[in-house]
Amino acid sequence: MRTYDEIFAIAVERKGSVAAVEAQLPQVKSADEITAIGDDRILAGMTRAIFQAGFSWKVIDAKWPGFEEAFEGFVPVRWKFMSDDDLDDLLKDKRIVRNGPKIMTVRDNAILLCDLEDEYGSAAKCIADWPMEDFVGLLEMLKKRGSRLGGNTGPYFLRFLGKDGWVLGRDGVAALIREGVVDKEPTGKGALRAVQEAFNEWAADSGRSFAQISRTLAMSIDT
């Protein structure tokens, strides 16, 4: 496994300059900034990531003001009690994408957020304080306790929120395979733990965020 600096150098060679690489590295929010986010915005972020999965992001972006109106600002305590009448109305609402299973995730994830509020004070605090050396544990919690937050949906949601972490697209996975971290797309617990250990090492050596390491890995692959 190469050091982060060696991988960064490969990315620079691919992109043409240090400035070109640095310009594409994402920024993350501090724990205090994330803690200040309302749980309604967290439910909105989860829902947006879920509806974007497997669908045109441009369509969801264009419809998003309608989503905000239809879901009345995504207040978790409102939607944890989604009724059959609510669901019927939403399935007829042309302001949103009328996908029943995805609409139901709003209820299920609202329940999760209310539970996290009871356990941690707020869902935002839970996410903000989750230790990066166990980022894989945060992803597992979202997958197990939430609805449709597995795969890359959870990581994308966290990235939109500003939480540090990795997003492993095709190029990121290819880089991990090249570095000998995994031998295929990491989906099992063992493979994800190997990814966690690699990111922990790269972060300790470089001082870079997981998000920046993730993006550097992707940029080090020819596409």
Q: What is the three-class DSSP state of 33? A: helix
Domains of the chain: 4-28+166-219 (no CATH), 32-130 (1.10.340.30)
- At position 196, the amino acid (one-letter code) is Q
Which two three-digit tokens encode residue 66?
């309608």
Q: What is the pTM of this model?
A: 0.94
Place of tokens 């009690």: 81
- pLDDT reported for residue 11: 98
Angle CA 59–63–67, to nearest 5: 135
Q: What is the DSSP string of 97-126?
A: ---HHHHHHHHHHHHHHHHHHHHHSSHHHH
pLDDT value at residue 103? 98
pLDDT, tens digit, 9 for 90 and up, residues 125-174: 999 999 999 999 999 999 999 999 999 999 999 999 999 999 999 999 99
Where does the pLDDT of residue 222 fall: very low under 50, low under 70, confident under 90, or very high at 90 and above? confident
Model confidence band, residue 27 (pLDDT cutoffs 50, 70, 90): very high
| 35/31 Cα distance (integer angstroms) | 6
pLDDT tens figures, 79-132: 999 999 999 999 999 999 999 999 999 999 999 999 999 999 999 999 999 999
3-state secondary structure of 53: coil
